Amino acid sequence: MIAVLTLVTTLTLGQQQPSPEDDAAFEIYQVGRQLLEQGQYEEAADKLSQAYALLQNPQIRFHLGLAFAGATRCDEAITLLVEVKEDLESVPRRQRRRLEQERARAEIDCRLHRAKTADLRSDSEDVRLSECQRISDDLDALSEALPLDEGAWYRETVAYCVPYQTAFRTETAVQRAAYRLYEAAQVALESDDSARAIELYGKALEILPNEPVLLRDMATLQLRSGGCEPALAAWRAIPANRQQDKDRRSTQACERFPPPTPLTGPALGAYIADVVEALAVEEGGDSDETINAWEALTDKHPSVPIWTHLTDLLYQAERCPDYLRSVIQLQALGGEPSDAEAREQRCRQSGEEENGLRVATLAPTDSTSMWGWSALGSGLVALSVSGYFVAEWVAIANTSSAANEAEKQRLGDDSETYSILAWTVGTVGVGLAGVGLSLLLSDDGPTEFGGTVPWVGEGVVGAAGRF
């Protein structure tokens, strides 16, 4: 099935002074090459994998890709063969041509295998279209260089992919008519005539109402021109067995995270694309990466639905201090967290039991709270005034050194007055601020501050943190 080059002089194995790992890799590589030449692809893949683990060398990568292709381990083969294509760019032209033929033939065989076995997948039509479009590109490059004995293989491959070389299948007259309208819509888009493109897509969908390619393009256009509602209609119309992950996430983005009202056009498209990307990260399952993605999204698009989702994620991750901070941001935007009172209680209980997290709260209508905030505010004002008196006292001290005796006497009296005022008002300010904090915090208030945050919850005002 796969011919193996006997020598690849231009892909250098190892370094000028090979290490013990290089020597071991070369020995195993030689065994793998022999197995590959004998057509024992699975065994060759095992040996060459061992060699590649010791030395990530282009020559080993090349033959490992061929072995994977021969064993129809096509996902692994294509990954390596695509990398090899880049490796070959540095090879002299005469030798590169033979190597590229070998590489491309193996990749085409694997892509054809994936297309033919796509019936096992729910998105089989999309897989065939994608693989055949890639095959077509490689076949074009190979067509003039293939040996005569490869003609049958070439014709068979082309024949299989003919129905899949367009954006969607065009085997019937109805499909071909819809495709002509699709092509006209593409021309309209190139001319920035979105209205005409939407009209043409609509006519194509009247002929071929369930074609995913048409529905996806229509959804994208309608999102920018009419918002989420018409776009959702198009995404939902895609048959379940042809839905892609991006279709599903786009639907979720519009349904669960409706964009802020002012967003339209390309800005709305960018918003949905950002939400889709965050949903993809979340589906990956890593809690920290998910939270980072949604926190970045709140910086770009600080909307209530996005902040609500972030608070849910932080609570589920048991990051109570961060959860409490996110609730403040959410409420500032006019939103409310889910099950706020119960979550606050659980955060307080779990924190006291595990890490000292406490939430100190008082009802906002409580007279104690009112007096506490008043005292704290008055204390801060008094400290500001005290700071003014201190500044005047320092200015007088700097001026008196250059004054005559009479002026020094007057400035000395002023200095004494300002120092007394600064000390008195400052003391009052500290006292008022202390009283205010004592009133605002719970009876078992903080004994040691480790960082608190303001806390405004449903019916409560106070502070939260570790203390």
Q: Are 220 and 238 in contact (CB under 8 A)?
A: no
Return the residue matching tokens 């090979």: 18
Q: Are 252 and 277 in contact (CB under 8 A)?
A: no
Is the CATH code 1.25.40.10 the one for domain 20-164? yes
Question: Closest Cα partner for 133 from 152, 153, 114?
Answer: 114
Is the CATH code 1.25.40.10 the one for domain 173-275? yes
H/E segment holding residue 376? helix 367-400
* CA 202 – CA 184 distance, rounded (Å): 12
Q: pLDDT tens digits for the chain (467 residues)?
A: 343 333 343 444 444 567 888 888 889 999 999 999 998 999 999 999 999 998 888 889 999 999 999 998 988 988 888 888 888 877 777 777 788 888 888 888 888 887 777 765 556 677 777 777 777 767 766 655 555 456 677 777 777 776 666 778 787 889 889 999 999 999 999 998 999 999 999 999 999 999 999 999 999 999 988 889 999 999 999 988 788 888 999 999 999 998 877 778 888 889 999 999 999 999 988 888 999 999 999 888 888 899 999 999 988 888 888 888 888 888 888 888 878 778 877 777 665 444 433 444 433 334 455 566 676 677 677 677 767 667 676 666 666 555 555 555 555 666 667 677 767 766 776 777 777 677 666 443 333 333 444 444 444 444 444 43
* CA 239 – CA 202 distance, rounded (Å): 17
Residues whose CB falls within 8 Å of the CB of residue 299, separated by 6 or more in sequence, listed in order: none
The per-residue DSSP string of 144-206 comes to: TTS-GGGHHHHHHHHHHHGGGSSSS---SHHHHHHHHHHHHHHHHHHTT-HHHHHHHHHHHHH
Q: Which fold has domain 285-355?
A: 1.25.40
